[in-house]
Structure 1
Amino acid sequence: MTRAQIVGDLVIATGPNVNGPVIPAALAAVAPGHLRFDGDGLIDASDLDRFAIDTMGEKHLPVMADDEWPVIDCSIDDALIRDGETWRVKTADDALAAAKADAVRRAIARADALTAPVLAAYPEAERAGWDKREAEARAIVAASDAGGDVAAAIAGTLIVKAMADAGDWTETETIAKAHAIIDKAEGFAAISAAVEGMRERAVAAIEASADEAALAATLQTLDADALALAGQFGLV
């Protein structure tokens, strides 16, 4: 014979060796998740349309429930969603909203994946100084282009001067390195701008999706755009 292990009114396990009441033959075909204990015995809750909902979203017989649990109209199989201090039946709009949130996370992950190969080539500490190093490089190039005091421009920098001192660069080499720094910064800026544009377009399309079919089409477009960008910038 099969028994039901009960906590409150919920059946948490069934089998011949669990502690609890015997499941009547009339209820043998009922899914364990549909069984409830009403204080006297097991019942089939499949056709009930009103339940008390605990803090974890489990459905209980109102007669067996904590007084603080909200009682709502729902079926045993209805998916529920938290709504402030209570619960309600999850609707198609709720499912679409959850799918959209997941799609936005996917769009962000796609954007991160595109820039990851570039970022992975540099230590985090070095990346933290990119903006300053670019600004220093531009100051040096500006001085050079204007026929100004390049030595003073170099001396006024922190990162580039340290690199020049460590590499024993001449002034000409330092100017060339400054140009290289700017070229690299502009290259990464182009990648970043393209990836940001892709992400923003994807997020806007995700938010505008009227149903899950439109959302699926948007995600396919996102994947295609990501592959195209990866090819354009040699990130594959």
Structure 2
Amino acid sequence: MKSDPVRMLAVVPDPASPELARTLDLAGYAWKSVSSIGDASESEPTGGWAGVIVDVTDDMDHAWTFLRALRKQHTDATPAIVLIGGGQLRELEHRDDLFDDFCLSPFHPSELEARLRHLLTAEVDVQSADLVEYGDLALNLETYQASIAGRPLDMTYMEYELLKFLVQNPGKVFTREILLSRVWGYEYYGGARTVDVHVRRLRAKLGEEHANLIQTVRSVGYRFGQSRWES
């Protein structure tokens, strides 16, 4: 599904890499490279940026500075996705508030397109939905919406996919490698740390009261909820 050409993406830095430019063009996205937050403000379309793609692989300091300024200027939290190298994943720690999703670089075009599509798609109400529930947690499989105790959860596409997989397999213990292959896919190039980052972010979004729904099984991996043998 191609994006609405009126909804324009900002891409940092300027110029965009040939791979990123080609991926966005083939997917039908309208986009513009910007070099700074001032450049982004001057070039911002009337309806605002639909989203921002920030490549942090070459100049991390500039990328994080841009994202901090973006968050300060846009209280409506313009959705942002970062492209980051596998050896740079530690840079994501303690910066959860600066971006909404990330994609490992070099990226697969299909993966980046999927992340963008779900990051930018508007919420759609449906009369009949396929729901998955566990206690106070509810996931709508048709609209990619989730809530905990009636409170909506603002999640990225891969956070939702990971939570959905865990909720559908309560009580089972999964290694990080299995979660990578089952949720991200066998062709995903990220390491096990990708799982840890997403689990940490999910726990934060579930809140302190419900964070322990996702349990760490030492030296093994993760488990959601209780097994059927537990009371």
Q: TM-score, normalised by structure 1?
A: 0.20
Q: TM-score, normalised by structure 2?
A: 0.20
> By percentage of residues, which structure has more strand?
2
Bigger CA radius of gyration: 1
> By percentage of residues, which structure has more helix?
1
